[in-house]
Structure 1
Amino acid sequence: METQGWDGNRLLSDRRLLVQKSRIDRRIEELNHECKTNQVLIDQLESLKQKMTEVDPHLYSVRVYRSTSAIKLLKQQITNTYRLIREYRHAQKMIDIEVETSWVADQLPDEGNFTRAIVSKLEELKAIEEQNQSLKLQLAAYKEIGNRE
């Protein structure tokens, strides 16, 4: 009877990990889309900067400066997002290993370290997500300042 409880706990734990993996899959799709969207915006800003510089660099100097700053933020955001994607994929692999070895992992010494490592990785990813959010806010502030002028 005790084995059934142990198996049930393991199955519940595996299910939680698989749900987490599914969330990570969706988040990776969102992040890939975000990168593509940001790259399109960078390309548009670069094109506008070139046009402004060709027409009258002095007249458009403030806008060129703001565009350059926005591009820098967008590129930093893309860099962070690619890091997130890479780390999320790493976490997915960790989850795969944990699920595949769950039947054996309970018998290994330090079996709790597997789950702690995954939780630690996910906390690290959350911090990167927060950093990206900060960059989004900075970019929004640049847009707001531009709209006031």
Structure 2
Amino acid sequence: MKPEELKIYADFMKEYELEYLEVKKGDFHLILSKKGTEIIERKITEDRPVVDINKIVEESKQTTQELENIVYVKSPLVGTFYRAPSPTSPPFVELGQKVKKGDVLCIIEAMKVMNEIKSDYDGIVKEILVENGKPVEFGQVLFIILKE
């Protein structure tokens, strides 16, 4: 994982005043903790070196301009997250894909109503934080987009 990717998670923790954050994506597992003053990054099959969260936070201050272009797309309601309009259709967006303002990013089903979630900005999809078919909460971050 690149330092700039870790900065995104460190900034997310800072923005929401979290003491602990754990991210699992496939065979990748990341744990961030303010109390322990360290970040342990590892794949399930191999250990990685320990990274100092204070160093990451300090580096993130240096790239404020870049980070100001990061947008967190949040769920406007409680429901079920779907990346595609149907199980056989391709996803609305993929990681790294350019999106325009108004492009559909996903659907959230609530009470049998399909609600399209659209991008408010032109940019690039940097992270997709929810798995297809999983429940989401109001205000939960679904996507991270880098504004262009």
User: With structure 2 as the length reference, what TM-score do the two structures score?
Assistant: 0.25
Q: Between Structure 1 and Structure 2, which shows a larger proportion of helix residues?
A: 1
TM-score, normalization: structure 1? 0.25
Q: Which has the larger radius of gyration?
A: 1
